[in-house]
Amino acid sequence: MALALKALHTSFAVHFLAVVGAILVLIWCISFRGGLAWDSSNKNLIFNLHPVLMFIGFIIIGGEAIVSYKSLPLKKPEKKLIHLVLHAIALILGIIGIYTAFKFHNESNIANLYSLHSWLGIGVIVLYGIQWVYGFLVFFFPGGTPTIRSESLPWHVLFGTFVYILAIATAALGYLEKLTFLENSGLEKYGSEAFLVNFTAIVTVLYGTFVILTTLCQSPAEDEYSYSAI
């Protein structure tokens, strides 16, 4: 069952929000937080890689992977390949993003995995990895039987949607957690940085909303290579 909207049209909102969100998170981490670094005596610069990689690398590219399969006017094999590759990039960057948080904590003598955000983050990346591996084996190579593929597709879509919604919720918790730490350390609660972080979180939620909305819309005109909307 699809909404009476074209997936290609709603995907434009997805792309626009992706650009806005990427700009906001870069302004926050570079202009307000001092920049990005893999190694630095200022450990906060290492942490700044975490929100950048998790939002731009994981949330945005992962969302584009979902949207690409639904909205691009291409043949099914081409869409599958784009979908697979973008998800792989998102997964790799997400793993690196999580590693930077551990790196920051370890080099700053801060405990790991003590918050709900961190627990959910580990859960999301593990589930995302399982989803990608299963999708690769069943839908790409070596590929399951037609029966297995047809029976797996609704669950693949449902599970992927669940994991992505969970990723958006985890990101929102991350913004809240970091902003709370900063405000407890003296950051002005109604200052420009606090507003920027909150607006970035709102854009993240809107981005995820339009990604999910696009999956419920009508695909481009179907041909023998296409699939019916679920």
Q: CA end-to-end span of the chain, whole Å?
A: 6
pLDDT at 230 over 60: no
pLDDT at 225 over 80: no
Bridge partners, residue 6, by sequence: 218
* Angle value at C-alpha 20, between 191 and 95, nearest 5 degrees: 95
pLDDT at 47 over 90: yes
Radius of gyration in angstroms for the set of CA atoms belonging to the chain, rounded to a whole number: 19
Whole-number pLDDT of residue 48? 98
pLDDT at 229 over 60: no
Task: Summarize the confidence of residues 144-151 as an average pLDDT.
Answer: 95
> In percent, how much of the chain has pLDDT > 90?
93
- E strands along 78-141, which residues? none
pLDDT at 1 over 80: no
pLDDT at 222 over 60: no
Whole-number pLDDT of residue 3? 83
Domain boundaries, the chain: 7-222
Whole-number pLDDT of residue 220? 87
DSSP category for residue 185: T
Whole-number pLDDT of residue 223? 43
Task: Summarize the confidence of residues 57-65 as an average pLDDT.
Answer: 98
- For residue 160, the surrounding DSSP H or E stretch is helix 146-184
pLDDT at 179 over 50: yes
- Contact criterion met (CB below 8 Å) for 35 and 48: yes
Q: What is the mean pLDDT of the chain?
A: 94
Of the listed ranges 4-8, 49-53, 76-80, 134-138, the least confidently predicted one is 4-8
Secondary structure of residue 162 in the 3-state scheme: helix
- Report cis status (omega within 30 of 0) of the bond before 154: no
Is the pTM higher than 0.75? The answer reads: yes
Buried b (16+ CB within 10 A) or exposed e, 202-220: ebbbbbbebbbbbbbbbbe
Q: Of 211, 229, 212, 210, give the one whose Cα is nearest residue 220.
A: 229
Whole-number pLDDT of residue 11? 97
pLDDT at 226 over 50: no
Q: H helices then E strands: how many in the chain?
A: 8, 0
**CATH T-level topology, domain 7-222:** Four Helix Bundle (Hemerythrin (Met), subunit A) (1.20.120)
